[in-house]
Amino acid sequence: MSKNDTVLVERNGPVLIVSINRPQSRNAVDPATAQKLFDTFLAFDADDTASVAVLTGCGGHFCAGADLKAVADGDLHNPGAIGGHGTLAPMGPSRLRLSKPVIAAVEGYAVAGGLELALWADMRVVADDATFGVFCRRFGVPLIDLGTIRLPRLIGQSHAMDLILTGRPMSGIEAHRVGLANRLVRRGEAATQAIAIAREIAHFPQACLRADRASALGQWDMPEEDAIAAELRGGLAVIASGETADGAARFAAGFGRHGVFGAEAGE
């Protein structure tokens, strides 16, 4: 397999589908693949025709983490050279804060750095027989793709410590119970369902959606008063863009009422 096809990119209308394509290693990520994932998601964020991305893996697995064979051969990013938001991380895009949402479609293993990639996504659509876990616990490989930050925030300190300290596997069913999986689906359906959700999200007015998303992410970085001010700034910018007035006009014309979404809402 050529290094050039370790990341596959497809389009489904406004949805970009990004697939890690190293099935011979359960989609473990080597540095070249990390760079390609990073570049792909930067390009997605800059593409005005793409609204939502779906991240998945080929061959029945999401991602088994960093390619430890590559690490053993000395093919490794220098962790000391890895900075904060917007910089290349060992798994690629996990330190990027994009302006658009990403949905992880998880089948099979999402472990070690693969778990961290799933945590980076805004949502996780998970097969019921999928497996999450900090499997790198066995090999002395630390979580440096924000796993120790995002996991406690998503599922709480106690559940996160259980996984971080023991390295045990967590099934898709348990992941859904503790809040790691947003949607639980049958085996083989994660990508299909994730794309369907992505298309629904892409149908909404995007300036408002992205402003609310940015506020929800950014508030972690600041005191409450600053978060309140940032939320207001983002909301006022949306209103000034005219998107809110357009939506109000659709409502006044009878569209989008009584919980109706999609085309019937006049969006």
Residue 33 to residue 67: CA distance in whole angstroms:
10
**What is the mean pLDDT of the segment spanning 41-67?**
97
Span 205-253: which CATH code? Answer: 1.10.287
Question: What rounded mean pLDDT belongs to the chain?
Answer: 89
pLDDT band at 266 (very low <50, low <70, confident <90, very high): low
Reading the block at residue 67, the tokens are: 């390619």
How high is the pLDDT of residue 262?
A: 64
pLDDT tens digits along 145-192: 999 999 999 999 999 999 999 999 999 999 999 999 999 999 999 999
Q: Answer yes or no: are the C-beta atoms of 82 and 25 closer than 8 Å.
A: no
pLDDT band at 68 (very low <50, low <70, confident <90, very high): confident
Please determine, for residue 123, whether its predicted confidence score (pLDDT) is greater than 50.
yes
- The Cβ of residue 215 has, within 10 Å, a number of other Cβ atoms equal to 17
How high is the pLDDT of residue 46?
A: 98
pLDDT tens digits along 81-90: 455 667 899 9
pLDDT band at 9 (very low <50, low <70, confident <90, very high): very high
**What is the mean pLDDT of the segment spanning 122-147?**
94
Please determine, for residue 1, whether its predicted confidence score (pLDDT) is greater than 60.
no
- The Cβ of residue 203 has, within 10 Å, a number of other Cβ atoms equal to 18
Q: Give the residue carrying structure tokens 């390619």.
A: 67
Provide the terminal-to-terminal Cα distance of the chain, rounded to the nearest Å. 43
pLDDT band at 2 (very low <50, low <70, confident <90, very high): very low
More confident residue, 234 or 120: 120
Q: Which of 15-24, 67-76, 100-109 has the lowest mean pLDDT?
A: 67-76
Closest of 248, 247, 265, 246 to residue 256, by C-alpha = 265
Please determine, for residue 3, whether its predicted confidence score (pLDDT) is greater than 60.
no
Q: What predicted TM-score, i.e. pTM, was given to this entire model?
A: 0.86
The percentage of residues in the chain with a pLDDT greater than 70, rounded to a whole number, is 89
Q: Give the residue carrying structure tokens 């967590």.
A: 170
How high is the pLDDT of residue 79?
A: 47
Residue 123 to residue 126: CA distance in whole angstroms:
10
Looking at residue 28, its amino acid is A
How high is the pLDDT of residue 224?
A: 75
Residue 43 to residue 138: CA distance in whole angstroms:
35
Looking at residue 168, its amino acid is R
**What is the mean pLDDT of the segment spanning 208-215?**
96
Domain boundaries, the chain: 7-202, 205-253
Please determine, for residue 232, whether its predicted confidence score (pLDDT) is greater than 60.
yes
Q: Answer yes or no: are the C-beta atoms of 64 and 25 closer than 8 Å.
A: yes
How high is the pLDDT of residue 81?
A: 45
The percentage of residues in the chain with a pLDDT greater than 90, rounded to a whole number, is 72
How high is the pLDDT of residue 60?
A: 97
Residue 39, beta-bridge partner list: none
Closest of 65, 206, 263 to residue 145, by C-alpha = 65
How high is the pLDDT of residue 257?
A: 62
Q: Answer yes or no: are the C-beta atoms of 82 and 90 closer than 8 Å.
A: yes
More confident residue, 140 or 78: 140
The matching CATH number, chosen from 3.30.70.20, 3.90.226.10, 3.40.190.10, 1.10.3720.10, for 7-202 is: 3.90.226.10
pLDDT band at 258 (very low <50, low <70, confident <90, very high): low
